[in-house]
Chain A
Amino acid sequence: MAKLAVFLLLLAGSLHAQSSGDELSVSVRQGELRSAPGFLSSIDARLEYGDAVRVISRVNDWLRVTVDHTGEEGWIHTSSVARPRDMNLTGPGARTTQTTTREIALAGRGFNQQVEQEYQEQMQLDFSVVDRVEENLLALPELADFLSEIGAELLEGGL
């Protein structure tokens, strides 16, 4: 039963994690604040990596949030945000000199474009081929037609 107590503690903790007031950081390069909980709803604002948001409520895998630096409200998918500590946003160097979450994110990033450039020069690696692969990224509206063909149910399910 001690185990059960731990389960309940974890359950309580995890429910707490989704309650309003939690501060999270945008964990994707191009975060999208949407008008409704779904990938096909309209985009109200674009957010940057590290932007702080505060949770208001949750519907399935979507969070209704307030953006810290603009005060805007909207919906963001749970996979587009992370706890600041999971983004290596804390650290001695970061904490003392930075003020906003975004600045902290930029300070504590470790492997980044600068390191990639350095590595590219050492190893004579061609990252332009990787750029070409990444150009294959499609915007959601471009996927919508395909989605409606293959997965109408998925769309109805509130993607």
Chain B
Amino acid sequence: MRRLTRAAGVLGLAMVLGSCAHLGSAVGELADAGARAGLPTAGAGAVVDGVRAVGAVADAATSPFSPEQEYYIGRSVSATILREYELYDDPAAVAYLNRLGQSLALASQRPTLYHGYTVAILDTDEINAFATPGGHIFISRGMLRLTEAEGEVAAVLAHEIGHIVERHGLGSIRTARVIDAIQDGTFQALDRVSDSQMREVTRLFGDTTADVVDTLVTRGYSGASEREADSIAVQILMDVGYDPFALVRLLERMDAAQQAEYEGSRERRGFSRTHPRPQSRIRDLQRSDLRNVEPGSRIDEEAARRRYEAAMRSIHTP
């Protein structure tokens, strides 16, 4: 509603000014609201094409998957990722990341999910973080080690929450057969499913999982999706009271780590394989979301430092 009110406000202002220019985000939001309302959107789609690229609000209307299906795809993506990585089970760190991450998610546009948001640590030196469509957020030990403060951990988590809010994972599903199957009713009435239908649905499930895993681990999202997730991260950080420039500080450190990695080897691993260069993300943030934003936090920094140090002890111990 907040979003819609804002959109309606922008629309009202534009009408006063007698111009249809600069309506990009408002149009995108209204079109999506219209789609949610079950309005015919063919005409609206033509209008909003091109202006909604960055501000698109993904919602159920743009996803052929039900919330439950989204969750099961997320579980399967998680299980596949966890075949490659071990979980790092330090209880203090895991509890801290979940308190922090789940609190941040409450400040997002999508505070509730089919199962909810959960965070786990991958036991690897690789610098990386993933989010599945099921609300599972994975952050590597290497990424955590790169952080120096709670606000920076919050920045990574908020970025991953951004991917979940916008349903970027589902957007990476390229298997047209999956979409067709949903639309032609292959999935309907699975209570009376035959063995061969079950095999087909399971095969589609595998293909879907593979598409999402491939995007998360190998191909990466589009630059636009990453900018969107950064933009949401800044919004969440500011709403909760963290300094949004914590994201910039972490990106600078990621950039330095990437440089070092390039010098060491030619093989790109983790985030540097799947994400735009940190410097270009910083530039985008400075041009858009962080423009005219004063650095500074409204949280008790001393308490945050104590929480961070207590929880991250084992991460920072060599």
Contact = CB atoms under 8 A, between A and B. Distances in A.
A79 B108 CA distance: 10
30 contacts: A3-B20, A9-B39, A11-B11, A11-B33, A13-B34, A58-B1, A78-B1, A80-B112, A82-B60, A88-B65, A88-B187, A92-B189, A97-B189, A107-B191, A109-B187, A110-B201, A113-B72, A114-B190, A115-B201, A115-B202, A119-B209, A136-B95, A137-B102, A143-B106, A146-B99, A146-B103, A147-B106, A149-B303, A154-B239, A159-B107
Interface in B55-84: 59-61, 63-69, 71-73, 75-76, 78-80, 82-83
Describe A's contact surface by its main secondary structure: helix
Interface string B181-215: 01001011111100000100110011011000000
A6 B37 CA distance: 14
A142 B113 CA distance: 18
Interface residues of A, number: 78
Nearest to A130: B78
A27 B113 CA distance: 8
Given A6-B44, A49-B114, A130-B79, A109 B190 contact: yes
Interface of A: 1, 3-4, 6-7, 9-11, 13-14, 16-18, 27-29, 39, 49, 58-61, 77-80, 82-83, 85-89, 91-94, 97, 105-116, 118-120, 122-123, 125-127, 129-130, 132-138, 142-143, 146-147, 149-154, 159
Interface residues of B, number: 89
Nearest to A153: B241
A112 B94 contact: no
B8 interface: yes
A83 B191 CA distance: 23
B111 interface: yes
Contacts of A135: 118
Interface of B: 1-2, 4, 8, 11, 15, 20, 23, 26-27, 30-31, 33-34, 36-39, 43-44, 47, 59-61, 63-69, 71-73, 75-76, 78-80, 82-83, 87, 94-95, 98-100, 102-103, 106-107, 109-120, 136, 182, 185, 187-192, 198, 201-202, 205-206, 208-209, 239-242, 298-300, 303-304, 307
B299 A108 contact: no
A150 B240 contact: yes
Contacts of A134: 115, 118, 136
A115 to B, nearest CB: 5
